[in-house]
Amino acid sequence: MDAEALRLASLTQGAGPSSGGVRVRLDLGYDGAAFSGWARQAEGRTVQGELEQALATLFRGRGAAPRIVVAGRTDAGVHARGQVAHLDLDPAQWRHLGRMGHGAAAETTLVRKLNGLAGAAGDVRVHRATPAPDGFDARFSAVWRRYEYRVADPGAAQDPLARAFTVWHPRPLDAVAMDAAARLLAGPGLADWAAYCRPRAGSTTIRDLQSFAWTREADGVLVARLQADAFCHSMVRALVGACVAVGEGVLGTADPLALREAGGRTSAFKVMPAKGLVLTEVGYPPPEELAARARQTRGLRSLDPDE
């Protein structure tokens, strides 16, 4: 399926489950190291591809294989702890899960089967499946995404057990300056992040960066925590790169904000590696606001992949 067909499939799914069917919310996590990102591709192992293959196996001969819509389409190598997705099951598929479970709830059986079929390597794990409230759309109902980025400089514990999700930086970083730069960049309200986004045809770079801060944890590791309505492509890693340049003294604390205001792409900082980045949580409004939020988001944002 090409990119355009994927977009159309995503739009169609936004319409809700078929009559009598069930929209299921999935909460899941993955180690991005061995994945070519979330989004299914013709070549390469992807999280969406593994899960949709598992669904196709599970429902073979029982209607169309379900497609998965995700809150944050992470890039190759990016991890997730609190990723959210949805899929629509038709009534026959839902009943099939019920029968397979020998008394267990259909959603419990779905989790067990997905982890059995897609989770053998241990690097993707479905935590929960729950029938979604009316109007829920994993992508378009979301009101915010949270990410963390971890950097261990020489002043931090460079722990081999955390090396899969921590960037080891060879030079000392000034956490106080980095935090000051981050706070200058954060909200309130919408701004144009073109300087921090890899451009994509037809996509907007207007986003609301609601919070951005750096802390040096007890073990010395520098952790960035960011929240936005959504992030455009490579935005988190570019923002982290700008702050690392501040932490090294290459940029001043006000420079990352000045670069955003200047617009256009810049070589003043590096986009940081994917391995330090984890999608930690996705926020949704109360059930009665889900449908309105989805309609509003579809109107405001184009269908570009979010990171």
Residues lying near a second copy in the complex (CB under 8 A):
29-31, 79, 81, 122-125, 127, 157-161, 163-165, 168, 278
CB closer to a second copy, 35 vs 193 = 35
Active-site residue (options: 2, 27, 31, 75) = 75
CB closer to a second copy, 53 vs 296 = 53
Q: How far is the CB of 216 from a second copy (least distance, A)?
A: 16
CB closer to a second copy, 123 vs 137 = 123
**Tokens 């701004």 sit on residue:** 191
CB closer to a second copy, 168 vs 268 = 168
Q: How far is the CB of 293 from a second copy (least distance, A)?
A: 27
Name the token pair of 106: 């259909």
12 contacts: CB under 8 Å, gap ≥ 6 = none
Q: How far is the CB of 160 from a second copy (least distance, A)?
A: 4
Q: How far is the CB of 165 from a second copy (least distance, A)?
A: 5
Question: 232: which strand partners?
Answer: none
- Omega of the bond leading into 188 within 30 degrees of 0 (cis): yes
Spatial contact of 156 and 221, defined as CB atoms under 8 Å apart? yes
Q: How far is the CB of 256 from a second copy (least distance, A)?
A: 28
CB closer to a second copy, 140 vs 165 = 165
Active site includes 2? no
Which amino acids are annotated catalytic? 75
